């Protein structure tokens, strides 16, 4: 997987292949000063600006036909502070590099998402999350942030310094400025024991509250057209480490999760009628396993099958009802869904436009393999999610607009007022932000 999104002949293309743009200019600043200069030049030339990460968003949130700021030269660890237990990194640092560097220092983030290809700034800007009972998104682990705003000035913020900016800019959607450095809370590296186990969909729904309450990190994948799920429970462990062996890891993660899954997707795309049978086989391919390892090796794994995704956060207490409706919709629709549906949770946090802002949340993610029509499925799923005041992931496909967000985010106007203050001329505007935040 390439470390940054790119396209051909001057185009920029996201990982999912569903967003393609042609920026007028590309800049790869190597310092905060060079970045500030690039912003000043763009403003003088009357051009819009967008900083991108690795293009792992499925929405056009990172798209621009103006100046594209690439992250490659703003990478690396600035400082590890063992008294405060924080690490400060340059904004373009890939999560993978951060995780490896922290592990070498005997440190770790508390929680993370499914992959670690994204940049730290890209991941936090859209609210990237894993699953957790007490521990929340990657942005919720931030202690500080450095931002270059539209006028070229550098703004440092934390709970104590510019707290109103910190409240919003941790998940800033690229709308408030260009993030140049992020300070994360870290902890001594720890071990997690992962228990992966098939379980019936009805049992997971019936016992969801207990499964959530009894585990630090509970998630599951449901295979549509079947009554089967794969559950995953990650809990801290005193050890010893018992990693997945290289051979078993290759068979389970590469061959079954990526290789066989890819073939199943090709067959399903060519002959949609076979999908329910393939789904039944896929749901049985992975058997139970238990392993113990350091956090990033348990939380993340490679995703080689390209797909397009929609994910909504609904109030946690509504998750089983929402999933039952989703099952009824799929069963009655004639849709053929070959990709499992992923369900995760997050506790309420205090970030203005976090999908879990002020609300204990459950995430439901629907996927379609790249190249297959997804609109019918996603539209029907979105109708169900929005009936529960769902909040879409900012980086995953959705059709909501500013009017909708004003209704589901109690602090929406706090964010737009800050944007008016920091970017009155809309240097960081693009079509996506016009839709979700207003002009």
Which positions touch ligand FAD (CB under 6 A)? 15, 50-57, 61-62, 91, 113-115, 118-119, 121-123, 125-126, 128-129, 173-174, 178-179, 303, 393, 395
Instruction: Considering the complex, state which of residue 110 and residue 125 has its C-beta at the smaller distance from ligand FAD.
Output: 125
Instruction: Considering the complex, state which of residue 244 and residue 310 has its C-beta at the smaller distance from ligand FAD.
Output: 310
Closest separation in Å from C-beta 50 to ligand FAD: 5
Closest separation in Å from C-beta 331 to ligand FAD: 27
Token reading at 339: 């990709």
Instruction: Considering the complex, state which of residue 119 and residue 283 has its C-beta at the smaller distance from ligand FAD.
Output: 119
| Segments in 110-245 forming alpha helices (H) | 120-125, 163-169, 201-206, 208-214
Closest separation in Å from C-beta 137 to ligand FAD: 7
The answer for residues whose C-beta is within 8 angstroms of residue 365's C-beta and 6 or more apart is 309, 310, 311, 341, 342, 343, 344, 393, 396
**Residue 314, Cβ neighbours under 10 Å: how many?**
24
Instruction: Considering the complex, state which of residue 131 and residue 282 has its C-beta at the smaller distance from ligand FAD.
Output: 131
Instruction: Considering the complex, state which of residue 36 and residue 91 has its C-beta at the smaller distance from ligand FAD.
Output: 91
Residue owning tokens 């205090």: 350
Closest separation in Å from C-beta 243 to ligand FAD: 21
Instruction: Considering the complex, state which of residue 316 and residue 393 has its C-beta at the smaller distance from ligand FAD.
Output: 393
Shortest CA distance to 51 belongs to which of 90, 108, 109?
Answer: 90
Closest separation in Å from C-beta 428 to ligand FAD: 8
Closest separation in Å from C-beta 207 to ligand FAD: 24
Closest separation in Å from C-beta 238 to ligand FAD: 27
Instruction: Considering the complex, state which of residue 170 and residue 324 has its C-beta at the smaller distance from ligand FAD.
Output: 170
Crossing angle of helices 275-285 and 261-270, in 10° steps, is 170
CB-CB contact of 86 with 187 (8 Å): no
Q: How far is Cα 138 from Cα 132, in angstroms, rounded to an integer?
A: 11
Q: How far is Cα 214 from Cα 234, in angstroms, rounded to an integer?
A: 10
257 DSSP 8-state letter: I
Instruction: Considering the complex, state which of residue 55 and residue 144 has its C-beta at the smaller distance from ligand FAD.
Output: 55
Q: How far is Cα 439 from Cα 425, in angstroms, rounded to an integer?
A: 10
Closest separation in Å from C-beta 427 to ligand FAD: 12
The strand pairing partners of 221, in sequence order, are: 230, 342
Shortest CA distance to 336 belongs to which of 278, 251, 276?
Answer: 276
Phi, psi of 25 (to 5 degrees): -150, 145
| Segments in 175-226 forming alpha helices (H) | 201-206, 208-214
Q: How far is Cα 391 from Cα 405, in angstroms, rounded to an integer?
A: 8
CB-CB contact of 329 with 377 (8 Å): no
Closest separation in Å from C-beta 89 to ligand FAD: 11
The answer for residues whose C-beta is within 8 angstroms of residue 232's C-beta and 6 or more apart is 194, 195, 196, 217, 218, 219, 220
Closest separation in Å from C-beta 332 to ligand FAD: 29
Instruction: Considering the complex, state which of residue 118 and residue 357 has its C-beta at the smaller distance from ligand FAD.
Output: 118
316 DSSP 8-state letter: G
Instruction: Considering the complex, state which of residue 91 and residue 278 has its C-beta at the smaller distance from ligand FAD.
Output: 91
Closest separation in Å from C-beta 27 to ligand FAD: 12
CB-CB contact of 112 with 94 (8 Å): no
Q: Which H or E run contains 325?
A: helix 319-333
Instruction: Considering the complex, state which of residue 10 and residue 239 has its C-beta at the smaller distance from ligand FAD.
Output: 10
């Amino acid at each position: 997987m390439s470390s940054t999104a790119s396209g051909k002949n001057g185009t920029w293309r996201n990982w999912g292949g569903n967003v393609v743009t042609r920026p007028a200019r590309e800049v790869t600043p190597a310092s905060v000063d060079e970045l500030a200069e690039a912003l000043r030049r763009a403003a003088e030339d009357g051009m819009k600006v967008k900083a991108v990460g690795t293009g792992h968003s499925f929405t056009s949130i990172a798209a621009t036909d103006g100046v594209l700021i690439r992250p490659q030269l703003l990478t690396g660890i600035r400082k590890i502070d063992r008294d405060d237990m924080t690490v400060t990194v340059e904004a373009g640092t890939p999560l993978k590099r951060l995780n490896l560097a922290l592990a070498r220092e005997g440190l770790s983030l508390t929680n993370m998402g499914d992959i670690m290809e994204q940049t730290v700034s890209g991941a936090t800007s859209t609210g990237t999350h894993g699953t957790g009972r007490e521990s929340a998104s990657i942005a919720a682990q931030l202690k500080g942030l450095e931002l270059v705003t539209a006028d070229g000035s550098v703004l440092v913020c934390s709970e104590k310094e510019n707290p109103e900016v910190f409240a919003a800019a941790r998940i800033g959607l690229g709308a408030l400025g260009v993030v140049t450095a992020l300070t994360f809370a870290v902890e001594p590296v720890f071990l997690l024991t992962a228990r992966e186990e098939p379980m019936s969909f009805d049992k997971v729904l019936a016992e969801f509250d207990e499964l959530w309450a009894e585990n630090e990190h509970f998630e599951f994948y449901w295979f549509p057209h079947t009554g089967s799920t794969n559950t995953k429970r990650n809990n801290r462990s005193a050890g010893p480490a018992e990693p997945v062996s290289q051979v078993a890891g290759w068979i389970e993660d590469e061959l079954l999760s990526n290789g066989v899954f890819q073939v199943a997707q090709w067959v399903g795309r060519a002959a949609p009628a076979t999908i329910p049978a393939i789904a039944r086989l896929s749901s049985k391919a992975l058997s139970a396993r238990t392993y113990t390892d350091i956090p990033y090796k348990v939380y993340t794994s490679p995703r080689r099958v390209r797909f397009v995704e929609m994910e909504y956060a609904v109030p946690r207490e509504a998750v089983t009802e929402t999933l039952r409706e989703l099952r009824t919709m799929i069963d009655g629709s004639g849709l053929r869904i070959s990709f499992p549906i992923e369900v995760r949770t997050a506790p309420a946090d205090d970030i203005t436009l976090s999908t879990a802002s002020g609300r204990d949340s459950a995430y439901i993610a629907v996927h379609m393999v790249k190249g297959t029509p997804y609109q019918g499925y996603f539209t029907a799923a979105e109708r169900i999610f929005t009936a529960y005041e769902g909040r879409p992931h900012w980086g995953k496909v959705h059709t909501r607009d500013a009017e909708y967000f004003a209704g589901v985010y109690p602090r929406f106007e706090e964010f737009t007022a800050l944007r008016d203050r920091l970017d009155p001329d809309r240097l960081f505007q693009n079509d996506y932000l016009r839709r979700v935040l207003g002009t």
